[in-house]
Amino acid sequence: MTNQVSVRVPGKINLQLSVGPLQRDGYHELATVFQSVSLFDELTISETDTDGIEIAAIGKSTIPIGGENLAYKAAELMCNKFDIETGLLIKIKKEIPIAGGMAGGSANAGATIVGIDSLFSLGLKRDEMERIGSEIGADVPFTISGGTAIGTGRGDQVTPVLSRGSYNWVLALSTSGLSTPAVYKECDRLREGLDISKPHVSDSLLQALTHGDAKTLGKALSNDLQAAACSLKPALRLILDVGIDYGALGGIVSGSGPTVAFLAESEDHALDLVVALTSSGVVGNVIRVAGPVPGARVISNT
Ligand code: ATP
């Protein structure tokens, strides 16, 4: 029987995304608070007799299946680093929206690193896997650890945050995505001529998490990319207004969007919000998730 491992990995939302000024190298320094939420992709990685890495998308997903796929890049990096010479087949079952601001591609890279570590019994520690992940992309390290964490630098330097309790989120998912580079570009355009300060994480947000205080957390949610995402996709403003009108404790565009996350007071309140947002007709796909959840985890190894 072929060796095979399955890994489940959650998407993330950003409770805060503070974006510093555009740097000379074209990047922005970030201070962000990530939270993993219970919307999962599942990857199954098996050894094959043929050479090379093959990606297969399960279902109707439109992800790239060649070298541009972040799971492919992660597998290639792991094979080079650890002299793995067998072929690999990586099947990806996607639930995390593509280009949704929920780090779905990065999550697939994180899951691949965790899966290959398990498949070949490499015995890597979580922080070693995070370091490898950062070679693929800034969001990858967080997808390995999950939970609630502060990300600094480009978002790749991850420190866990003390967070009490579980939060009820309602996600408004869009059918068409937003390109992360395009949203940053729009953010720079909107900020032209303004003096932008260094990014920082809000104290009231961290205190809300420490106390498990959903009401304060709802008020503290903030995203410096929100104006840019709404400028490129004006429907997002309407979605945000509708969620707040229906009593959400707070609402925010996640990362570069277009996913919008609403914080609910309880499970029942989250269900009410799902019904209200769905029947409002401004958004097609509304789901209820909980956070925080752990990052990429092996669910079977045969
Ligand atoms: P982030 O929140 O990290 O900015 P995102 O969630 O907005 O990212 P992704 O779903 O990660 O966006 O995808 C961004 C682009 O990456 C897509 O346009 C897609 O073509 C490409 N991509 C590469 N590999 C994957 C993958 N495994 N899953 C999804 N998209 C992928």
Question: Within this chain, do residues 124 and 178 fall inside the same structural domain, yes or no?
Answer: no
Q: List all residues 6 or more positions away from 230 whose beta carbon is below 8 Å from its beta carbon.
A: 236, 237, 240, 253, 257
Question: Within this chain, do residues 51 and 142 fall inside the same structural domain, yes or no?
Answer: yes
The amino acid sitting at 58 is I
Buried b (16+ CB within 10 A) or exposed e, 46-73: beeeeeebbbebeeeeebebeeebbbbb
Using the 3D structure, point to which of 109, 132, 160 is the last residue of a domain.
Answer: 160
Phi and psi at residue 85, in whole multiples of 5°?
Answer: -110, -10
pLDDT confidence of 137, banded at 50, 70, 90? very high
Q: Is ligand 1 within 6 A of the CB of residue 11?
A: no
Any idea what the Cα angle at residue 201 is, between residues 114 and 131, rounded to 5°?
Answer: 25
Question: Within this chain, do residues 60 and 35 fall inside the same structural domain, yes or no?
Answer: yes
CATH number at residue 27: 3.30.230.10
- The stretch 184-194 carries a mean pLDDT of 95
Active site (annotated) includes residue 139: yes
Of the listed ranges 31-40, 142-151, 228-237, 276-285, the least confidently predicted one is 276-285
171: enclosing H helix or E strand: strand 167-173
Nearest CA residue ID for atom 12, ligand 1: 99
Question: Within this chain, do residues 140 and 11 fall inside the same structural domain, yes or no?
Answer: yes
Instruction: With respect to residue 139, please indicate whether it lies within any of the assigned structural domains.
Output: yes
Q: What percent of the chain has pLDDT over 90?
A: 90
Question: Within this chain, do residues 206 and 131 fall inside the same structural domain, yes or no?
Answer: no
* Residue 117 · residue 267 · CB < 8 Å: no
Q: What pLDDT shows up at residue 120?
A: 97
Question: Within this chain, do residues 143 and 198 fall inside the same structural domain, yes or no?
Answer: no
CA dist., res. 44 & res. 139, Å (int): 21
CATH number at residue 230: 3.30.70.890
Question: Within this chain, do residues 24 and 83 fall inside the same structural domain, yes or no?
Answer: yes
Question: Within this chain, do residues 19 and 93 fall inside the same structural domain, yes or no?
Answer: yes
| 213-263 residue pLDDT tens | 999 999 999 999 999 999 999 999 999 999 999 999 999 999 999 999 999
Question: Within this chain, do residues 155 and 172 fall inside the same structural domain, yes or no?
Answer: no
Burial (CB < 10 A; 0-12, 13-18, 19+), residue 128, is middle
Mean pLDDT of the chain: 95
- Greater model confidence, 284 or 289: 289
Q: Is ligand 1 within 6 A of the CB of residue 71?
A: yes
Among 41, 117, 139, 224, which one carries the catalytic annotation?
A: 139
| 55-93 residue pLDDT tens | 999 987 789 899 999 999 999 999 999 999 999 999 999
Q: What percent of the chain has pLDDT over 70?
A: 99
Instruction: With respect to residue 297, please indicate whether it lies within any of the assigned structural domains.
Output: no
* Residue 53 · residue 119 · CB < 8 Å: no
* Residue 45 · residue 51 · CB < 8 Å: no
- The stretch 129-134 carries a mean pLDDT of 97
Q: Among 39, 53, 98, 173, which residue has the most ligand 1 atoms within 8 Å of its CB, making it the best to mutate?
A: 98
Q: What pLDDT shows up at residue 1?
A: 56
pLDDT confidence of 275, banded at 50, 70, 90? very high
Domain count for the chain: 2
Distance from residue 259's CA to the centre of ligand 1 (Å): 13
Q: What pLDDT shows up at residue 22?
A: 93
Instruction: With respect to residue 132, please indicate whether it lies within any of the assigned structural domains.
Output: yes
Question: Within this chain, do residues 240 and 279 fall inside the same structural domain, yes or no?
Answer: yes
Q: What pLDDT shows up at residue 114?
A: 98
Range of the domain at 57: 4-160
Using the 3D structure, point to which of 160, 175, 210 is the last residue of a domain.
Answer: 160
